[in-house]
Structure 1
């Protein structure tokens, strides 16, 4: 069974940021994560889950009542003991609202972070950082004369000008338009190739986290629930709570039964085959399980219609009759080139949801109210453990 990755789960190399913070109030914390040099770790979770508080703790701007923060062989903070100042930690931080000095031009804003250099070298070094973020022609413009994207690039250059041991990004792209956001994301991805420090980013955008991060840490109520590569998080959430927090539907419960063909999940009238994850559970156990959208194949009586692409892998085609269940199309919402299909099942109060190419929906003549069949690939069904009440209602997210 998949377990959450913790900050101690792997050997830690030089320069790795290790965070293990706890406190009961006023902001509850029970968070543990790590980020190695050259890695980008995304902290995701709903508002109020402690993400910004954790960044401020790393930067030395907030002191929790329990835990520790280490960077490589340096102990930055230990509850009841050592606490390095923000200046000594030398952390670069980029804020959502830029936090530029309005009375200074772009070059002078960056120069404020170069106090470790002789005064006569600061402006020249500031110009080098402006060149790195492609703003050398805007050196003498003030923040109000720059666009949102340009201001954020100045803020990033200022954070890096400190030659930080760790870079912290607090919703860095949320205040700009979608086109600018994508451009800044590309620039950050390219800039990362030149950095060999831990980068911790707070974001509410799961697509952004998936695209930019090497690993994701899911937080809720100040607790770190799961940490791992984006592909692992999105395909193997450790609990129904994590699945809801990362907006993954298709979480259900079923009963473990043993038959002539081995263990199965009894789910309504069907007994579902599962490739792995049923070991160690007793007969009759109520188990929570999840199936990714990519492992659901929608079919009709007269034809089959792979919901993602008609050119799916051959091995998936060979197994598309396994775990075949009947359902009714409850909703069919067209959003441009992608349609969202919601299925209702007679035995299940939870619906099943996935996206499908709109051209495939139209070609297959799918309609609301239509009875269809879906095949749930046994290799994709993920067992999350014994069912509990840990799932949180969507309105909390």
Structure 2
């Protein structure tokens, strides 16, 4: 099922005017604070009536201002996970989960046992919310939302209140949700690390306008989108398969671009991973380097060269059909005589890819 959103609404100092499609998977709404991301999610949930718009989930019209259709929130079948978990403190974890099921429409829905297993909640069912960690509370809130059997799942900065350790705990569960639950998921975030790890579709919103939208892997590797994403956060996603765990503590990965070695990744051989490769961590050479410590040297071809207003440049590379970004200086680009079609080698140190940039799924 696809979610189609077209909205227009005026606020003091901001006019929200957006249109995009959210297919099954995670559609991340990314932009600065105040860009209008939460407003979009609230309009989909029915918590805000826009001045004009149309929202359609599959073949069900949730909102059409021209036709005077505006389903109330309780009839939209929307699961909403807020930044804070908002669990009922007087109910156990199991009772909180069943509260979501209470409001589910009649008919088949997700099985309680499956969601408990998917989110790793089995050992928590008899506990009270006050005895849970932040990550555990987030997982319970997510389970409760799924068990309401929604058409759409909305997540508004669900990890923003968590420390890095709790984020690392819950991200694998969100990846499993993305890969195993066939729902359109709108995910609001201003964390590029989260977006790169989770998103299948990306919508960039700036000052109430959609500046770009499309497959996440395509946009993240697009030099034109880098200013909106943040130059320090610019980077591409590679799909990799764990080939072997080496005896010296490295993991050998197979990619379309070539073999990669990273510090030990806790995954079995054959596991498919998503790797976020930051543009600032990629060096370029016109001949294959020798006598260097970097283990990862990938042959590539320059696809696009984008010069910045300052001393920097972004280079998009084609490496075996995968897209890689490199952030270098204009001086280096000139010295290497780079242009579309130039053959190069992308050099990446094994330790450059942080564990937070290694996720599961294609």
TM range (shorter): 0.5 to 0.7
Structure 1 residue 36, shift from structure 2 partner: 1.5
Distance in 2 of aligned mates of 1:189 and 1:349: 37
Distance in 2 of aligned mates of 1:18 and 1:175: 29
| Residue in 2 that maps onto 1:243 | 226
Cα contact 1:298–1:305 (8 A) shared by 2: no
Distance in 2 of aligned mates of 1:352 and 1:307: 24
| Residue in 2 that maps onto 1:103 | 90
Cα contact 1:44–1:202 (8 A) shared by 2: yes
Find the structure with the greater CA-based Rg: 1
After superposition, residues 53-92 of structure 1 pair within 5 angstroms as 53-80=39-66, 81-92=68-79
CA separation of 1:351 and 1:310: change in aligned 2, threshold 3 A: farther
Structure 1 residue 207, shift from structure 2 partner: 1.8
| Residue in 2 that maps onto 1:225 | 211
Structure 1 residue 305, shift from structure 2 partner: 9.0
Distance in 2 of aligned mates of 1:216 and 1:349: 25
After superposition, residues 185-196 of structure 1 pair within 5 angstroms as 185-196=171-182
Cα contact 1:165–1:197 (8 A) shared by 2: yes
CA separation of 1:84 and 1:237: change in aligned 2, threshold 3 A: farther
- 2:142 matches 1:182: no
- TM-score normalised according to structure 1 size: 0.60
- 2:161 matches 1:201: no
Aligned counterpart in structure 1 of residue 340 of structure 2, from 352, 376, 379:
379
CA separation of 1:158 and 1:178: change in aligned 2, threshold 3 A: same
- 2:163 matches 1:159: no
Distance in 1 of aligned mates of 2:120 and 2:92: 16
Structure 1 residue 147, shift from structure 2 partner: 0.4
Distance in 1 of aligned mates of 2:202 and 2:19: 12
Q: CA RMSD in A?
A: 3.6
Distance in 1 of aligned mates of 2:27 and 2:292: 31
Aligned counterpart in structure 1 of residue 310 of structure 2, from 322, 325, 350:
350
Distance in 1 of aligned mates of 2:26 and 2:293: 29
Distance in 1 of aligned mates of 2:72 and 2:293: 52
Structure 1 residue 103, shift from structure 2 partner: 1.9
- TM-score normalised according to structure 2 size: 0.66
Specify every segment of 5 or more residues in structure 1 that has no aligned partner in the other structure, as ranges. 1-14, 252-291, 324-344, 355-370, 382-397
Distance in 1 of aligned mates of 2:193 and 2:144: 26
Specify every segment of 5 or more residues in structure 2 that has no aligned partner in the other structure, as ranges. 235-278, 315-330, 343-362
Paired residue secondary structure (1:43) = strand
Q: Work out the number of aligned pairs and report it.
A: 273
CA separation of 1:380 and 1:213: change in aligned 2, threshold 3 A: farther
Distance in 2 of aligned mates of 1:153 and 1:62: 26
Cα contact 1:42–1:216 (8 A) shared by 2: yes
CA separation of 1:313 and 1:136: change in aligned 2, threshold 3 A: closer
Structure 1 residue 220, shift from structure 2 partner: 0.8
After superposition, residues 1-397 of structure 1 pair within 5 angstroms as 15-26=1-12, 27-37=14-24, 39-80=25-66, 81-116=68-103, 129-238=115-224, 242-248=225-231, 297=284, 311-316=296-301, 350-352=310-312, 374-375=335-336, 377-379=338-340
